[in-house]
Amino acid sequence: MESIFHEKQEGSLCAQHCLNNLLQGEYFSPVELSSIAHQLDEEERMRMAEGGVTSEDYRTFLQQPSGNMDDSGFFSIQVISNALKVWGLELILFNSPEYQRLRIDPINERSFICNYKEHWFTVRKLGKQWFNLNSLLTGPELISDTYLALFLAQLQQEGYSIFVVKGDLPDCEADQLLQMIRVQQMHRPKLIGEELAQLKEQRVQKTDLEQAVEINDGSGVLDEDEEDLQRALALSRQQIDMEDEEADLRRAIQLSMQGSSRNTSQDIPQTSSTQLTSEELRKRREAYFEKQQQQQQDPPGQLSHPCETPTTSPEALGSDLGGMSEEDMLQAAVTMSLETVRNNFITEEKK
C-alpha cells in the first residue's frame, strides 16, 4: 500500500488529485491545469467571435465567468480530457449507449474517472487488484473484482458520471510491484472529514478525562487533608482525656495524703486548750499506751482489727509511683482513700 501514490484533498483541487492519482505521480499542478483552462476559454471565445464580435451572444459570453475553471480550484471535464490527451489517453462515458453496446466487463478495463457535481476521483487497477484512489479518503481503498461492478453501479445510482480511461497509462512502481504480490487490507480507510471529526472527538474525550483526573486528584488531596484533620482531632481528644485522668489522679493522691495526715494526727493524743482533770489525763495516757502495745504485738503488715488492710504511707506511695502505670496509680490512690476513711472510722470507735 505504501508504494501506491495517493494525493489527499487540498482545497477544491480534486481534478488535479484525480489526474495525479490516475497517473501515479505529480504530473499536473494547478498552474498547468489553469493554462489548459485558459486555452479552452480562448478557443470558445474565438468560436463565439465567428458570429460577430458585436453580436449579443458574444457580449454575453464575454461577461460570463469561465466554464472551465473557477477561483476555488475546480476544473471542468474538458480540462481533464485535454490534460490526458497529452499522454495519449481518451475518456469515454461509461453509461453511454456506444460503450454499453461493447459489453465490456469492468474488471477488464484499466481505470475509471468518476465525477459528482464538482468532485473528481480515480478508480484504478494496479497489478491485479483494483483500488479506489479518492482524494477524500485517508488512503487507497482495496476493491475486490466481485465488488467492482457493484461499486460502479452504486456510484451511478448516486448520480455520478463515470468515464472509462482508454489508452496506455505510464509505468509506475506500484503497478510493477503489485504484479508480483497481492495485498490485503484489514481496515477500510476513513473519509478525511470523518477522521478529523474522530480525532477532534478523541481530543475532547482526552481533555474531559484529564479534567476528571485533575478533579479526582483534587478530591484525593482534600480527603487526605480531612483525614489528617480527623487524626489531629482524635489525638487532641486523647491528650485531653489523659490530662483529665492525670488531674483526677493528682486530686485522688492529694486527698489520700490529706486523709493519711488527718489519720496520723488523730492517732496522736491532742492537747486541748481546755484544762483536763488528773483522772481524764490518766485515762487518755493508758489508752494511748494500750494502743502502742497492741500495734507492737501485731505481725508486720497486719492491723489489730480483722477487717483492716495495710495503710500505705505517702512516702511509700511516692517511691512506688515511678514504675506504675497511670491506671495503677489511680487504683492505688482510690485504695488509699478507702483505707484512710476506714482507719478514721476505727479510730473513732476506739475513742
CB 131 within 8 A of CB 139: no
DSSP string, 88-122: T-EEEETTSHHHHHH---GGGSSEEEEEETTEEEE
- Is 17 catalytic? The answer is no
Q: Is 187 a catalytic residue?
A: no
CA distances from 304 to 287, 292, 295, 297, 307 (A): 15, 11, 7, 9, 9
Tell me the three cell numbers of residue 156: 451511478
Helix spans in the chain (H):
14-23, 30-49, 56-63, 77-85, 97-102, 145-157, 173-178, 192-267, 278-297, 314-320, 326-350
The catalytic position among 6, 14, 17, 115 is 14
Using CA atoms, how far residue 165 sits from 88, 107, 111, 120, 151, in Å, is 10, 13, 6, 14, 17
Cβ distance 105 to 145 under 8 Å? no
- Catalytic option among 82, 119, 132, 343: 119
- 254: its cell numbers: 492529694
Question: Which amino acid is residue 203, in one-letter code?
Answer: R
Read off the C-alpha cell for 79: 480540462
**Which of 20, 21, 132, 134 is the catalytic position?**
134
Structural contact between residues 259 and 337, judged by C-beta atoms closer than 8 angstroms:
yes
172 noted as active-site residue = no
Catalytic residues: 14, 119, 134
